Amino acid sequence: MKNTKIALATASALLITTAFSNAQTTVGGNMRIGLKSTSADLGAGLGSNSRMVKETQINIANKGKLNIGGLEYAAGFSIEFDGNDLNRAAGSSTTVCTSTNTTTAAACNTGSVTNGSAVSFGKAHYENNYIDIINPSTKTTLSFSADHLKPSDVQLSDIVGGPARVDHVLNHAAATSAGASIASKYTDKMDDKGSTEGFGIGLIQDLGVGKFNIIYQPDVSENFSALGDTGGAMNDALSSTSNSIIDMSFRGDLGVKGLDVLITRNKQEGTGADRDIKFHSEGVKYNMGPITAAYQQSKGEYSTTATAKSKEYGLAYTVTPTLSVGAVMIKTKDDSAAGIEEKITGLTVGYNLGPVFLSTVAGKIDDAGNTAGADGKAVQITLGTTF
């Protein structure tokens, strides 16, 4: 019996060695810490506010060769920690802490917040889950993934902003006269294109002058996104009434040095008599030495009755190899708020300190959420590093 166990253990070890002999595993991540200040022209009780912001992420990836047809593979996932990682009072939350509320009872019972207070739940969550099967000879990739292939989730206009995008910094910077913060229509609707995090089957085809990217997701609800399977079960017991989506794009230089062309299309199936929800975007970016300019336009149906349109303009100048400055302007119209245009303008400065980067974003938003008079300003200074 002992000999049998030793033989089995040896065989298992050989199998493990063989499985990893052609594989390469990497572990990395990033961390960003910053100071953000906002000021709303309207908003009783909101006024000016300053706070620290942060984001940390761990990336685990593996790649190697398969034992069939000269194929290769790449696989990996990320774990991200955003915002508040502990329960605390949060006036912007819509969840109210009560002793009978099962969602928040644990927080209430700890005494960290009191009954009647709103609470914010920060948590770790998965991102970028994927197993890609790659054919090097045809430059074709078949992807089984979530938050990995995101054809429509591309913004060309914020050239320098990078991880601290102008519209993200200004989102919720404005407020109503009653003091409630207002989300940017561009960020809240146009930047949420349905297929960003959903699980699906996708294809990437390198065409030489660019890449064609398409993904099919049978369900776009949160239950079937990169955030959905928090229990770790392969078989999700939850049902969903959400519909499928097909998202596709072409992005490439068309054989012209310095050119970046983007065309995207997606469609989410409607329910019953409701129309299909469609989105499309077209953009171009061109680099001319130290100067880069960009333009992008988007149109998206974010409900069965409402449509938003955006136009974006970006300009950047590389002052030195380590210093860049940029400007961004985004205008968004909503057919449900005729005559009111949301306008985002911002300046960005990026400085490379070697292993650490410094990013500064300053901007303002006018008529946020296509709400007349809802204006706000924000400044964010961010330090970041990768490891």
List pLDDT tens digits, range 235-264.
554 555 578 889 999 999 999 999 999 999
Same domain assignment for residues 112 and 170: no
β-strand partners of 280: 265, 299
The predicted model gives 344-355 an average pLDDT of 95
Same domain assignment for residues 203 and 288: yes
pLDDT for res 235: 57
Q: What is the per-residue pLDDT across 28-75, written as a single tens digit (0 to 9) for each? A: 999 999 999 988 876 555 667 888 989 899 999 999 999 999 999 999
Count of all residues that appear for the chain in the document: 387
Distance in angstroms (rounded) separating the CA atoms of residues 343 and 369: 10
Same domain assignment for residues 288 and 341: yes
pLDDT for res 3: 46
Q: Is the pLDDT of residue 321 over 80?
A: yes
Same domain assignment for residues 100 and 220: no
pLDDT for res 286: 98
**Percent of the chain as helix, strand, coil, to the nearest 5:** 10, 50, 40
Same domain assignment for residues 356 and 338: yes
Q: Is the pLDDT of residue 112 over 50?
A: no
Q: Which of 99, 121, 143 is the last residue of a domain?
A: 121
Q: Long-range contacts for 246-249 (Cβ within 8 Å, ≥24 apart)?
A: 246/214, 246/215, 246/216, 246/217, 247/150, 247/151, 247/152, 247/193, 247/194, 247/195, 247/214, 247/215, 247/217, 248/151, 248/212, 248/213, 248/214, 248/215, 249/151, 249/152, 249/154, 249/212, 249/213, 249/214
Q: Is residue 3 part of a domain?
A: no
pLDDT for res 178: 73
Same domain assignment for residues 311 and 187: yes
pLDDT for res 93: 36
Same domain assignment for residues 64 and 192: yes
**CATH code for the domain of 269:** 2.40.160.10
The predicted model gives 165-174 an average pLDDT of 91
Domain of 107 in residue numbering reads as: 86-121
Same domain assignment for residues 100 and 218: no
- The torsion angles phi and psi of 12, rounded to 5 degrees, stand at -60, -40
Q: Is residue 27 part of a domain?
A: no
Same domain assignment for residues 150 and 80: yes
Q: Which of 121, 141, 170 is the last residue of a domain?
A: 121
Q: Is the pLDDT of residue 350 over 60?
A: yes
The predicted model gives 96-121 an average pLDDT of 41
Average the pLDDT over each of 164-168, 216-220, 315-319 and give the range with the smallest value. 216-220
Q: Which of 121, 142, 166 is the last residue of a domain?
A: 121
Q: Is the pLDDT of residue 217 over 80?
A: yes
78 Cβ neighbours under 8 A, 6+ residues apart = 57, 58, 59, 60, 126, 127, 128
Q: Who has greater pLDDT, 140 or 199? A: 140
Same domain assignment for residues 91 and 221: no
Q: Who has greater pLDDT, 139 or 114? A: 139
Q: Is residue 21 part of a domain?
A: no
Same domain assignment for residues 100 and 144: no
pLDDT for res 18: 42
Q: What is the per-residue pLDDT across 4-32, written as a single tens digit (0 to 9) for each? A: 444 444 443 434 444 444 678 999 999 99
Q: Is residue 11 part of a domain?
A: no
Among 358, 361, 366, residue whose Cα is nearest residue 327 = 361
Q: Is residue 53 part of a domain?
A: yes
Q: Is residue 94 part of a domain?
A: yes
- If one counts the domains in the chain, the total is 2
Average the pLDDT over each of 104-108, 172-176, 328-332, 348-352 and give the range with the smallest value. 104-108
Same domain assignment for residues 194 and 300: yes
pLDDT for res 238: 52
Q: Is the pLDDT of residue 136 over 90?
A: yes
116: confidence class by pLDDT, cuts 50, 70, 90: very low
| pLDDT above 90: percentage of residues in the chain | 52
pLDDT for res 222: 64
